[in-house]
Amino acid sequence: MEFSGTSQQILSAREMGIVACTRCTKAWPMGTQTCARCGHKMVSRDFGSLQRVWAFWIMGLMCYVPANTYPMLQTRTLFQSDESTIVGGAVELAQHGAFGIAFIILLASVAIPLAKFWAIAFLAVSVKSRRATANHSRQIMYEVVEYIGRWSMIDIFVVAILSSLVQLNTLASINPGPASMFFALSVIFTMLSAQAFDSRMIWDEQAKDEDPS
Amino acid sequence: MRTPHKMTDTPPDVSIKSARKLFLSGASIVWIIPLLALFVALGVAWNSFNARGPQIFVEFEKGSGIKAGETELRFRDVTVGRVEEVGFSAGLGKVVATIRVDKDVAQFIDNSAAFWIIQPEVSAQGITGLSTVLSGVYIEGSWNEEIGDFEDRFVGADSAPLIRAGQTGLQIAFRTVGNGQLTDDAPILYRGIEVGRLGKAQIAPRGNFAIVEALIYDDHRDLVNTSTRFWDSSGFRLSIGPSGAEVDFESIATLIGGGVTFDTFVSGGDRVQDGTVFEIFPTKEEARSAVFNASAVDPLKLSVIFDENVSGLAVGAPVELSGLTIGEVESLSGIVDYNQFGDSRVRLNVTLSLQPARLGLPGAVSATSALAFLQDRVSNGLRARLASASLLTGGLKVELVTVADAPDAQLVAVDDALPVMPTTKNETSDAAATVEGVFSRINNLPIEELLNSAIGLMNSAQMLIGSDEIQQTPRDVRTLINEVTGLVSSDSVRNIPVSLNATLSRVETLVATLEQEQMAKRLMEAVDAVSGAADAFSTSTEGVPELIAEMQTVAAKAGEIELQQLVDELTAVTRSADAVIGTPDAIALPGSLKNALDELNYTLQELREGGAVENVNQTLASARNAADNIAVSAKDLPQIVDRLSTLFDQASRTIEGYNQGDQISRTAQNTLRDIQKAADALASLARTIERNPNSLLLGR
């Protein structure tokens, strides 16, 4: 997406009486029900999107709690079986001196998801309130959240790879813990939540600011 | 949902009444998902909370490897809970394990519950808790099967309790005053099978005995009754008695870890209730005798006066009736009573204490009935005597024996004195002397000389066997046998029977001829004739005495010839041959030997077929006859000699008278020379016979 100039100069399509197809991006006059090119249903603003954002956001948060309380990995060796949560595993790694890996884990599994929750919530709230930050920054924030969301799945990949590689029967085996499923769900729901957000609403506040009706 | 937007043209002037908004009309259907998730989560949470059992708190002396979140609580080896927290009691006095118990089990945990830690343990009874080496310790719980009032505070035991709740069995206790090795958890054995187990031994509060709980398993509780006596079977016992040395131990486990065994020596015990206390005796014998000592009946006291005052009887010596100990010697004293015994010798006065129970009397057991029984037996000849109790120590015992022809006596109590048991002759052997004698005889045995000789013999035998000559003997023997084989198979030997037959025939003929000719008579006649002739002659008599001597020798030799000797020598030769053939080395030469034997067999068969044996027998008989005749003839020889000497005297005188008659003298000399020749031939024959008696038989 291109940005040009400051936000003050940006005209929204809605203000120009145009609605763009979200699938094929063709612009139509306001009021067009379906895109004549691709047949996609067209709305200028999806006001139900906020509800979906919040619903998925809550789901994601609900899943994030057990994802952190339950063990992520079950490591069984000959003599003992070890279960560690995400934070617990990172702390353990840090105690063993692997600060780098601990930092990565904490960043990818704790900091980024939490930041995502915060960012989505902020965006969803800010479209309703006036004291929001610059529209441009919020747009960037939205882009980043959407872009970075899929990378949170890296945790799940690590767990999947480990548990498929380390299966030595009685000697040692690694199995995914219940937290991995919840973590995956949490990531999926936050991604859905971010996708459900209609970013065009960011600019409506600007319009209200500029010309309050 | 359609978004309303402003319409600028043709506003219809309709009074707009805003539609009543439904509460959830604006809600998206997507809210169902979080709501569903919420309900599921709440349901799961409530479910798990609801299924969660209560917490109990168990105090232990030591943590012993309990870990929060890991250590399990098990009941009958099934996990029923988990330690959630390990902490300390107030003041750090104890370790408190907080255990979350499964809800369905929790209701059974009442005041019957006991908890202890299972950890690996190596003891004499074996290794237990081995699985916990890898898995870590766990807490074992035990409670009965009845639902009781829930309790949540317990004091854990430091070892598994002997009697677990809900376990059936006879619960008894043991007392012991001895220094038995009562080991915790030692087995109770009966006929070598574990029928119970001891608990933890404790010292009684006053410190005068040790007490230990025990459990007889339910299957075996009928083995124990009030007459049962227990004894310590731990360790081993070495006893040396009349039957020899004996080592006695129950099992290796009891040898190391101790154990208790028991037996019921008499019948008629009552059923034992839980909580009965038994005593543990050090040995089986003490346990056995304790059965009788325990009888509540007063002992029967008897007095016995022995004429002989023999040392060796001591207080406590057994009193036996038919080999069964029925009591013991209670006291010993000397007694001198001139009026009673008629002299002033010191006699041995023994007081016996008999246990009426041991007599096995029917009906009520009492001293009175025992006395009545003994009175009856005494009138039938029961007497007391001293007997040796132990050969080695020389101890004595009192024996009650029935004497067949005993003088009449009664067992009666005179006044207040004890009834006096009549005695009979003691049967004490001077054991010490006997044993000493045996030992001295053993001492006197020339064992050392015997050993020296034996060693010498062994050495010589070894040297002999090791010598080259002996080792070469087999070869020589083989050569010899080969030669014998060759010899036996040779034609000349095969022809022996034929020759033998011929020879024997000739010998027979010869002997017959000898008989017929009756040489002695003829000799006499000849001598008579010579004597007649001698009257006319005179000649030298040199050589005649020698001739006579030789003839006497011949006669003696002839008398001495005995076939028996020949047979003996032959036997000896045969034995020697046997010995040679019997040597192990000779056995290695079966081929040659078999051939030789075959040949010998063949030859013997021929001998038998040729009638040689019969002939030999006949010949031997004839030879004996001949020899007899010769002996008879020999008796006449002195007469002959006398006559000859007379003859020679006359002849010498005659010859002196007729010194000049050369013609006659020459004739006489010729005659004498002939006689001399005959005598020489006879002497030669005699020498030949002497050298080789066989020549007479073989005709050579």
User: Stretch B289-302: mean pLDDT, rounded?
Assistant: 67
The answer to whether A117 and A60 have CB atoms below 8 angstroms apart is: yes
Q: Between the ranges A10-14, A198-202, B301-305, B340-344, where is the mean pLDDT highest? A: B301-305
The phi-psi region of residue B391 (left if phi > 0; otherwise alpha if psi is between -120 and 50; otherwise beta) is alpha
Which residues 6+ apart lie within 8 Å of B199 measured at CB? B161, B162, B163, B184, B185, B212, B213, B214, B215
Confidence of residue B605 (pLDDT cuts 50, 70, 90): low
Residue B31 to residue A48, Cβ atoms within 8 A: no
**Of the given ranges (A16-25, B50-59, B178-187), which has the lowest mean pLDDT?**
B178-187
pLDDT per position as a tens digit, A144-174: 888 887 787 888 888 888 888 888 877 888 8
**B28 vs chain A: nearest CA distance in angstroms?**
6
Residue A59 to residue B3, Cβ atoms within 8 A: no
Q: Is B145 helix (H, G, I), strand (E, B) or coil?
A: coil
Domain boundaries along the sequence of chain A = 1-44, 47-210
**Of the given ranges (B368-377, B472-481, B581-590), which has the lowest mean pLDDT?**
B581-590
Cα separation of A166 and A176, whole Å?
11
pLDDT score at A5: 44
Residue A51 to residue B41, Cβ atoms within 8 A: no
What is the enclosing helix (H) or strand (E) of B399?
Answer: strand B396-402
Q: Decide if pLDDT at B539 tops 50.
A: no
pLDDT score at B433: 61
Burial of residue B554 (number of CB atoms within 10 Å: 0-12, 13-18, 19+) = buried
Helix axis angle for B544-560 and B662-691, nearest 10°, is 30
Residue A55 to residue B31, Cβ atoms within 8 A: yes
What is the enclosing helix (H) or strand (E) of B554?
Answer: helix B544-560
* Chain A with chain B: Cβ pairs closer than 8 A: 34
Of A44, A51, A78, the CB nearest to B30: A51
Cα separation of B327 and B295, whole Å?
12
**Of the given ranges (A143-147, B134-138, B381-385), which has the lowest mean pLDDT?**
B134-138
Which residues 6+ apart lie within 8 Å of A190 measured at CB? A56, A57, A60, A113, A116, A117, A120, A149, A152
* Confidence check on the interface: ipTM exceeds 0.90, yes or no: no
What residues of chain B lie within 8 A of the CB of A43, using their CB?
3
pLDDT per position as a tens digit, B419-437: 888 888 777 665 556 666 7
Q: Is B465 on the interface with A (CB under 8 A)?
A: no
Between CA B111 and CA B113, with CA B112 as vertex, the angle to 5 degrees is 90
Which of A51, A57, A76, A78 is best to mutate for the B interface (most B CBs within 10 A)? Answer: A51
If you measure CA to CA, which chain A residue comes closest to B132? A79
pLDDT per position as a tens digit, B156-183: 887 777 776 666 788 888 887 666 556 7
Q: Is A193 on the interface with B (CB under 8 A)?
A: no
Long-range contacts of B586-593 (CB under 8 A, 24+ apart): B586/B474, B586/B477, B588/B474, B589/B474, B589/B477, B589/B478, B589/B481, B592/B478, B592/B481, B592/B482, B592/B485, B593/B481
Cα separation of B170 and B178, whole Å?
24
Query: pTM score, two decimals?
Result: 0.44
How many CB atoms lie under 10 A from the CB of residue B245? 8
Confidence of residue B242 (pLDDT cuts 50, 70, 90): low
Q: Which residue has the higher pLDDT, A26 or A14?
A: A26
**pLDDT averaged over chain B?**
72
pLDDT score at B659: 52
**Of the given ranges (A109-113, A180-184, B330-334), which has the lowest mean pLDDT?**
B330-334
Which residues 6+ apart lie within 8 Å of B312 measured at CB? B386, B388, B394, B395, B396, B428
Confidence of residue B199 (pLDDT cuts 50, 70, 90): confident
User: Stretch B143-161: mean pLDDT, rounded?
Assistant: 82
Confidence of residue B46 (pLDDT cuts 50, 70, 90): very high
Q: Which residue has the higher pLDDT, B638 or B684?
A: B684
Confidence of residue B625 (pLDDT cuts 50, 70, 90): low
Residue B34 to residue A55, Cβ atoms within 8 A: yes
Q: Is A91 on the interface with B (CB under 8 A)?
A: no
Q: Decide if pLDDT at B572 tops 60.
A: yes
Cα separation of A200 and A86, whole Å?
36
pLDDT score at A158: 84
Q: Decide if pLDDT at A199 tops 50.
A: yes
pLDDT score at B634: 54
**Of the given ranges (B95-109, B215-229, B262-276), which has the lowest mean pLDDT?**
B262-276
**B246 vs chain A: nearest CA distance in angstroms?**
51
Q: What is the DSSP string of A6-54?
A: -GGGPPPTTTTTEEE-TTT--EEETT--B-TTT--B--S--TTHHHHHH
Query: Which is nearest to B421 in space by CA: B302, B333, B313?
Result: B302
The answer to whether B435 and B391 have CB atoms below 8 angstroms apart is: yes
Q: Tell me the β-bridge partners of B175.
A: B211, B279
State phi, psi for A177 to the nearest 5 degrees. -85, 175
In angstroms, the Cα distances linking B71 to B118, B135, B336 are 11, 9, 85
Q: Which residue has the higher pLDDT, B292 or A65?
A: A65
Cα separation of B619 and B316, whole Å?
89
Q: Is A55 on the interface with B (CB under 8 A)?
A: yes
Between CA A30 and CA A38, with CA A35 as vertex, the angle to 5 degrees is 160
pLDDT score at B212: 84
**Of the given ranges (B299-303, B518-522, B674-678), which has the lowest mean pLDDT?**
B518-522
User: Stretch B212-233: mean pLDDT, rounded?
Assistant: 83
Cα separation of B524 and B332, whole Å?
103
What residues of chain B lie within 8 A of the CB of A79, using their CB?
134
pLDDT per position as a tens digit, B326-351: 888 878 888 887 777 777 778 888 88
**How many residues in chain A?**
213
Q: Decide if pLDDT at B700 tops 50.
A: no
**A131 vs chain B: nearest CA distance in angstroms?**
25
User: Stretch A192-199: mean pLDDT, rounded?
Assistant: 85
Confidence of residue B43 (pLDDT cuts 50, 70, 90): very high
**B30 vs chain A: nearest CA distance in angstroms?**
6
**Of the given ranges (B58-72, B334-348, B495-509, B682-696), which has the lowest mean pLDDT?**
B682-696
- Asked whether the CA dihedral B564, B566, B572, B575 is positive or negative, the reply is negative
Q: What is the DSSP string of B559-626?
A: HH--HHHHHHHHHHHHHHHHHHHHSHHHHT-HHHHHHHHHHHHHHHHHHHHTTHHHHHHHHHHHHHHH
Cα separation of B180 and B186, whole Å?
12
% of chain A surpassing 90 pLDDT: 5
Residue A59 to residue B34, Cβ atoms within 8 A: yes
Q: Which residue has the higher pLDDT, B184 or A131?
A: B184
pLDDT score at A141: 87
The answer to whether B418 and B354 have CB atoms below 8 angstroms apart is: no
If you measure CA to CA, which chain A residue comes closest to B32? A55
pLDDT score at A81: 77
**A89 vs chain B: nearest CA distance in angstroms?**
17
User: Stretch B477-503: mean pLDDT, rounded?
Assistant: 70
Which of B6, B8, B30, B36 is best to mutate for the A interface (most A CBs within 10 A)? Answer: B30
Q: Decide if pLDDT at B75 tops 50.
A: yes
Residue B27 to residue A62, Cβ atoms within 8 A: no
pLDDT per position as a tens digit, B81-136: 999 989 998 888 889 999 999 888 888 888 888 888 888 877 766 777 777 777 78
Tokens of B667: 């004739």
If you measure CA to CA, which chain B residue comes closest to A192? B30
Burial of residue B508 (number of CB atoms within 10 Å: 0-12, 13-18, 19+) = middle
Which residues 6+ apart lie within 8 Å of B198 measured at CB? B162, B174, B182, B183, B184, B185, B186, B187, B188, B212, B213, B214, B260
Of A45, A55, A78, the CB nearest to B33: A55
Tokens of B350: 């023994």
